[in-house]
Amino acid sequence: MKKAISKSSLLPVVMMALAVLFAATAHAAAPGITGPTFNLTAQTAFLNQPDGAAVYSWGYGCNGAPAGFAPTMPNQNCPTMQVPGPTLIVTEGATVTVNLSNGLPPAAGNTSILFPGFQVTGSGTGSVPGLLAQEAVPGGSVTYTFTATTPGTHAYYSGTQGDLQIEMGLYGAIIVIPAGDPTGCSPSQVNLSNGNVNVEAAHGETDFRLAHYAYDNCKTNYDREYLFQWAEMDTNIHRQALAQVTAKAGCVAGASGCSLEVSTEPYHPAYFLINGRSMPDLMDANFGAEYPHQPYNANPHMHPGEQVLVRAIGQGRWQHPFHEHGNHVRILGRDGNLILGTTAAGTPDPNSLAGLLMFNTDTTPGQAFEGIFYWSGRGLNWDPYGHHAGADAFGDPLAVQPCVPDANGYYTVNSSPAAPASAINYYEWCQDHNKPLEVAPLGDVASGGPATLPSPNIFTNGAWYGGTPYLGPDATLRAFAPNCATPVPANANAGCTSLQPSNTQANPANERGFAFMWHSHNEREITTNNVFPGGMLMMMLVDSREFVIDESM
């Protein structure tokens, strides 16, 4: 842990510099298929890994075209085998039917699906009772039926020889969305909930949420959502399975010798996956052709002030202490159970959420949770927008944006006058408005600035620093005043900095933001076959409002 903490202490500055490296990557959401009837099959395929390996695996996929996709994205598909399996999106109260066909090799034997948290009935031609669930024999099928009783994020996975079949990739997620928006929400809650959506629309963004609220509760509204499924792979197990399946090709299911004897202990995983991919593959596009059996990515983006709903599931056999840089995560619920406080009488209080505020979000195997991640710039102690205190010599209208605090100190729709939807600094923390990062470039921090940025005159720490400590495509220009002098005159630009503009170094040209590393705090889990960086590692990109976050990619 000491090593992890020491590395993490370097990340805030390093990640701002790395933002330009990831600016052109695709984005994520919580893509899946809609029901309430789902036709799935269990089949084999090879999964591509960043080190060039193709790992023999098993997975659930679509047995024919699904009823639909949500949210709508280009190039959407549902292959006959994918890891994780298709995300099943259903509405609270719906009767869900899942038809599973067993397309695994005969030697793999029966397979099944468990749906923890739901009352399930199972039947079907070619199915037999198993230890935990009704099972489909090789070439057979089974039908599962249950009611989606409560909203939330849930896991599904094989209930047959779980130590092997889950390891091989037979797992997926179910998202149950509320049947409708909760009633009785306060005007301020509704205004803030609609405020970010209206701001996104004003800048040409599309709403890619599956719902407006995570649960039937006014305090669970959110602006963006991402689904992350953690898992790991021991390639020795996968190699054993492939060798035995190959050796027993053509055998008759159930006949003597037509079964696998794969040793799943001792367990030594080499790959650590988020949504079936490792870093950097997980930052490529959803439904990318280069990942025919790993369609889901893991690349979250947000704007300051947005409520980001994190849906997470531990799908492997290990716990993963996942750390989200930039802020803690407020847990909302686990396995479809919203965590409420209690009244003085000891009854659940719908107006009091009691989930933990977590530095590391724990992901117990088989358990799911929802949490809210939030970043506004509050606490930086400088204006991350690089505003000027007066007229702008560059003719930049963004430099002189007002900041009128609402009751909570932010510039929002609840300010008076209200922040317009077009405001580039919507949700700015007004206490730091016009506050410079540094007043005196080069050298010690002068009064009025909390930090000294790297000097571009020192190659060891300045020349490589191509980023900007400000949000927005021309924020460095707004903060870089050619008339700054040393000492800085009293009437000089309040955001004066010695860093050169980074506009020529980023792609696309209109993105400037902060990049916060999100990663496992188990150091080995941010490697791919023991090579760093890799594994369970991704970036949360906090983008300025004028950058359009296109979740369809």
Contact predicate 66/28, CB 8 Å? no
Asked whether the beta carbons of 227 and 212 are under 8 A apart, the reply is no
Most confident by average pLDDT, 154-158, 401-405, 469-473: 154-158
- 3-state percent helix, strand, coil for the chain, nearest multiple of 5: 15, 25, 55
510 falls in which pLDDT band (50, 70, 90)?
low
What tokens appear for 372 in the block? 């809210």
Alpha-carbon gap, residue 41 to 79, rounded angstroms: 10
pLDDT greater than 80 at residue 466: no
Evaluate whether 484 touches 494 at the Cβ level (below 8 Å).
no
Strands 368-374 and 360-361: unpaired
Task: Give dist(CA 134, CA 145) in Å, integer.
Answer: 11
- Please report, for the chain, the start and end positions of each structural domain, with discontinuous segments joined by +: 32-179
Dump the DSSP string for 387-408: --SS--TT--GGGG------TT
Paired tokens of 61: 């996929």
pLDDT of 395 over the 60 cut: no
What mean pLDDT do residues 127-144 have? 91
3-state class of 198 per DSSP?
helix
| Cβ atoms within 10 Å of 235's Cβ, excluding its own | 16
Q: What is the mean pLDDT of the chain?
A: 83
**The pLDDT value given to residue 74:** 82
Please give the pLDDT value at position 153: 96
84 in Cβ contact with 30 (< 8 Å): no
For the segment 212-226, the average pLDDT, to the nearest whole number, is 92
Confidence at 477, pLDDT banded by 50, 70, 90: low
Whether the per-residue pLDDT at 457 is higher than 80: the answer is no
Q: What is the DSSP string of 368-379?
A: EEEEEEE--STT
Rounded mean pLDDT, 355-379: 91
49 φ, ψ (degrees, to nearest 5): -125, 155
Q: What is the pLDDT of residue 11?
A: 35
Task: List the end-to-end C-alpha distance of the chain, in Å, as a whole number.
Answer: 36
Rounded to an integer, what distance in angstroms lies between the CA atom of residue 175 and that of residue 423? 34
* pLDDT score recorded for residue 508: 56
Mean per-residue pLDDT for 330-334? 95
Unique residue bearing structure tokens 């020349």:
463
CATH number, domain 32-179, options 2.60.40.420, 3.40.50.300, 3.40.30.10, 3.90.105.10: 2.60.40.420
Q: Which of 169, 368, 412 is nearest to 275 (CA)?
A: 169
- Torsions phi, psi for 237 (to 5 deg): -65, -45
**Which comes out higher in pLDDT, residue 192 or 466?**
192
Select, from the ranges 86-95, 408-417, 439-448, 493-502, the one with the highest average predicted confidence (pLDDT). 86-95
Q: Report pLDDT for 517.
A: 93
